[in-house]
Structure 1
Amino acid sequence: MGYLEKKGDHYRGVVYIGTHANGKPKRKTKTFKGVTSQRELKKLLAAFETEVLAGNYIDPSKMRFADFVEEWREKYAKEHLSPKTLETYSYPLKNFILPVFGHLRLDKIKTIHIVDYLNELKKDGVRKDGKPGGLSPSSLQYHHRILRDIFKRAVEWQLLKESPIITGTRPKVTQNKTDVYTKDEAAALFDLLQHEPLHWRLMITLAITTGLRRGELLALKWNEIDFDKGTLQVNHSLTYIQGEGLRLNVPKTKSSLRTVSIPSYVLEEMKRYKVIKNKERMQAGELWEDGEHFFLFSTWNGKPYYPAVPGKWWARFIKRTGFKYIRFHDLRHTAATLLINEGEHAKNISARLGHADINTTMNIYSHYLQEADERAADKLDALFSPLRKSDEKEA
């Protein structure tokens, strides 16, 4: 049986679980800080009592890191992180983080342990894929991000007074120049695509001209295309979750929900493509399986493509044509750099790409923005040099 007792300015739940060998009562306690409503306190006590009697309650002072990760996963991550992010977190947790920290008590993990852990990941032989060298700087940042998120919840839930992840522990990453196509290379690519199936030609063209992410392209539906206004709406992203299959997700950030203008010549291609898709839908009849959706890019029976499919086709296309290779995702970067080179403002590019803020755009494309600025300076130099020489002659 459980009961509440007042301790100073807060309440504590107490659950009786038997007696010690000396006859004294054996109890479990849990403090409820910041709660004064008797109704809410009774709810918390009932939940605590259920945990204790079911054997699921772990004393915070004795909680291991591995146990807290499970608490974090169930009570925070599943609700607040996208399924894809949670799946991506799973590999570093299982193969790196938990083997090192899992057995340690949560309150015994200090900043020096985090620093040592991140330094170890830089050493040769630490990789699980057998490749030489340590983890990349971006991978180190990802590990840091996971640990920061977990310890942040531990502080919020009053299991720790402070997080061991402090300023200065985040690994530094030098942003490398992204591999993209130039304006001439993009034009040559469009020429090559004229000999490819229309759905692949259109997907690659949209990737370069709109800057949509792969998952956003695959989630596009015909009712999100406004042919009169020449725009498309980005409302979802298609992902594959192991054990669950395909999922149509609403983006976590508001900036990813956006309206993107489509070049007129691409719009004409889309009109021709829609005629073909409508015929496919009619011919498939009852075999059509798009449910309530009508995806732009789908198999013969309306099912959306798995996210890995475009990348595999792209790799085969590059190998078959001998064209310069960049990753499928770099088509999105190509869209950004082409706009930068045409003098488009970074704020407009940021909105078009669905970045959370302009700083993201500035960081990713810093090299290209710097080059564009240098070209602008050269143009000004060319503009004013004749005037300066004229002044010198008069002097």
Structure 2
Amino acid sequence: MAGRGSIEKRGKDSYRLIVSLGFDQNGKRIKKQKTVKAKNKTEANKLLAAFMTEIEAGEYIDPSKIKFGHFVEEWREKYAKEHLSPTTLDTYNGHLRTRILPSFGHMRIDEIKTLHIIDFMEFLKKEPLKGNGKEGYLSSATIHYIQRVLNNIFSRAVEWEVIKQNPVSKVKKPKITQKETDVYDEEEVFNLLMALKKEEQRWRVLITLAVLTGMRKGELLGLEWEAVDLSAGTIHVKQNLVYANGEQIVKETKTKHSQRLISLPPEIIPELKAFKKEWNKNRLFMAELWEGGDHNFVFTAYHGKPLHQHSIKNWWSRFIKRHGLRYIRFHDLRHTSATLLLNKGENVKVISSRLGHANVLTTLNIYSHTLRKADELAANHFSAFFKNEKEDEKKA
């Protein structure tokens, strides 16, 4: 048997499970213990029985001997899968796999101190970007996110009384520096739209909407015909399509601000009507082979399933090269949309609403460089006053 067990009340819905295993050769009592959440004493006793079985089977690991990598597995099963969204967990796992576990996975969790975390954060600042011939270093936003992952894991370790203090809590958060966005100017947008005329209708509409609306890639992929009002000339953004663990997931937009109604310029409506007509023809032609299910995605493969995000990325890269256009990311078409409106003097609040930002400050922070240029142009408007003044002096 595993020994004798007992429980101690620790606080509201909290109990300490204790299993006594006799004495060691020096006469010191041997015991295993851990704190659990339980609604009442009866539930706590059930957990104690399971704890004793775990010890007897040799599956229990003393918290003082837990490796960080092993604790991460416990964190995934007992916290992350239930409390994090699939996309967030997918992102967390990516950072764990590529950077965090290679650095801390082999260490005992109670041996990881604040200085270890500080050294790790400094190391990240000097780590070059990986893959696809990328140049430069990790962004401050990425480093901040990695710190957030660590903080979440160590917070659970404290909460479950595996360790006494969170080594991340005293580490200063990195200051996030907003990168200057890479966008097309008016002439490049004109050339882009001209090049699209030679492309398949599906791609032509997709890219055009990206520029005209500033919608995110996931919002475009998750767009259904029911959300497109061709009579009113609007798109109701209310969901997006995300990918996690190789699966496509349709979910509501991240925040209530992301749910919005975007007005379309009237010039795009005939193109959308023609595209919908062809979409309906294909839907009828595919009949029982249609795989769209209950969804009527605007942008699909031939069988009705939504386009994959990698399909868009690959097509965009080939398209850019084929037409000799300057390369920017597909996501930068969203920034291009906002920048064009800012340069035209559109109200920042209106632009913020079209983009689905939580508040105007978010828009101001992202497009501060563009606003600075607009401010310089605004200052030049006053030059006319001084020119007139000099001309009057000459006449006098």
Tell me the equivalent position of 2:17. Answer: 14
Write the distance in 1 (CA, Å) between the matches of 2:236 and 2:257: 12
User: Does residue 198 in structure 1 map to residue 198 in structure 2?
Assistant: no
Asked if 1 retains the 8 angstrom alpha-carbon contact of 2:34 and 2:161, the reply is no
Asked if 1 retains the 8 angstrom alpha-carbon contact of 2:234 and 2:261, the reply is yes
Write the distance in 1 (CA, Å) between the matches of 2:81 and 2:263: 34
What pairs up with 1:123-202 in 2 under 5 angstroms?
123=126, 129=131, 135-138=137-140, 139-157=142-160, 159-166=162-169, 169-202=172-205
Write the distance in 1 (CA, Å) between the matches of 2:302 and 2:11: 69
2:320 corresponds to which letter in structure 1? I
| TM-score, normalising length: structure 1 | 0.85
Write the distance in 2 (CA, Å) between the matches of 1:237 and 1:289: 19
Write the distance in 2 (CA, Å) between the matches of 1:309 and 1:130: 17
User: Does residue 30 in structure 1 map to residue 34 in structure 2?
Assistant: yes
Tell me the equivalent position of 1:218. Answer: 221
User: Does residue 284 in structure 1 map to residue 296 in structure 2?
Assistant: no
User: Does residue 50 in structure 1 map to residue 50 in structure 2?
Assistant: yes
Tell me the equivalent position of 2:354. Answer: 352
Write the distance in 2 (CA, Å) between the matches of 1:128 and 1:383: 51
Asked if 2 retains the 8 angstrom alpha-carbon contact of 1:2 and 1:13, the reply is no
Asked if 2 retains the 8 angstrom alpha-carbon contact of 1:121 and 1:134, the reply is no
Tell me the equivalent position of 2:336. Answer: 334
> Which region of structure 1 is more displaced relative to structure 2, 254-263 or 135-144?
135-144
C-alpha RMSD of matched pairs (Å)? 3.3
Tell me the equivalent position of 2:86. Answer: 83
Identity of aligned residues (%): 46
Write out per-residue CA displacement over residues 159-206 of structure 1, whole angstroms, 9 at most, x where no aligned residue: 555433246633345433211111221122112212211111100011
Q: Equivalent residue of 1:247, what SS?
A: strand
Distance 1:104 1:285, change over 3 A: same
Q: Equivalent residue of 1:121, what SS?
A: helix
Write the distance in 1 (CA, Å) between the matches of 2:193 and 2:307: 22
Query: How far apart are residue 384 of structure 1 and its match?
Result: 4.1
Identify the match of residue 4 of structure 1 among 4, 7, 13. Answer: 7
Query: How far apart are residue 275 of structure 1 and its match?
Result: 0.7
Distance 1:117 1:133, change over 3 A: farther
Write the distance in 2 (CA, Å) between the matches of 1:4 and 1:157: 16
Write out per-residue CA displacement over residues 142-166 of structure 1, whole angstroms, 9 at most, x where no aligned residue: 3223223323444455555543324
Distance 1:8 1:81, change over 3 A: closer
Identify the match of residue 233 of structure 2 among 217, 230, 250. Answer: 230
Write the distance in 1 (CA, Å) between the matches of 2:135 and 2:183: 26
Q: Equivalent residue of 2:90, what SS?
A: helix
User: Does residue 269 in structure 1 map to residue 271 in structure 2?
Assistant: yes
Tell me the equivalent position of 2:251. Answer: 249
Distance 1:46 1:131, change over 3 A: farther
Query: How far apart are residue 71 of structure 1 and its match?
Result: 2.8
Query: How far apart are residue 79 of structure 1 and its match?
Result: 2.9
Write out per-residue CA displacement over residues 188-239 of structure 1, whole angstroms, 9 at most, x where no aligned residue: 2112212211111100011011111111111111111122332222222223
1:118 corresponds to which letter in structure 2? M
Distance 1:52 1:351, change over 3 A: farther
Write out per-residue CA displacement over residues 221-260 of structure 1, whole angstroms, 9 at most, x where no aligned residue: 1111122332222222223334x43222333333223222
Query: How far apart are residue 391 of structure 1 and its match?
Result: 9.6
Query: How far apart are residue 131 of structure 1 and its match?
Result: 6.5
Write the distance in 2 (CA, Å) between the matches of 1:282 and 1:11: 59
Write the distance in 2 (CA, Å) between the matches of 1:84 and 1:11: 31
1:70 corresponds to which letter in structure 2? E
Tell me the equivalent position of 2:40. Answer: 40
What pairs up with 1:282-321 in 2 under 5 angstroms?
282-321=284-323
Structure 2 gaps, min length 5: none
2:102 corresponds to which letter in structure 1? P
Query: How far apart are residue 11 of structure 1 and its match?
Result: 6.2
Distance 1:369 1:50, change over 3 A: farther
Identify the match of residue 110 of structure 2 among 89, 104, 107. Answer: 107
Write the distance in 2 (CA, Å) between the matches of 1:167 and 1:208: 43
Distance 1:12 1:189, change over 3 A: closer
Asked if 2 retains the 8 angstrom alpha-carbon contact of 1:207 and 1:332, the reply is yes
Asked if 1 retains the 8 angstrom alpha-carbon contact of 2:7 and 2:15, the reply is yes
> Which region of structure 1 is more displaced relative to structure 2, 3-12 or 133-142?
3-12
Distance 1:129 1:3, change over 3 A: same
Write the distance in 2 (CA, Å) between the matches of 1:313 and 1:131: 19
Query: How far apart are residue 2 of structure 1 and its match?
Result: 4.6
Write the distance in 2 (CA, Å) between the matches of 1:233 and 1:249: 15
Structure 1 gaps, min length 5: none
| TM-score, normalising length: structure 2 | 0.85
Write the distance in 2 (CA, Å) between the matches of 1:107 and 1:394: 84
Distance 1:322 1:16, change over 3 A: same
Asked if 1 retains the 8 angstrom alpha-carbon contact of 2:238 and 2:260, the reply is yes
Write the distance in 2 (CA, Å) between the matches of 1:94 and 1:201: 38
Distance 1:364 1:155, change over 3 A: farther
Query: How far apart are residue 353 of structure 1 and its match?
Result: 1.6
Tell me the equivalent position of 1:73. Answer: 76
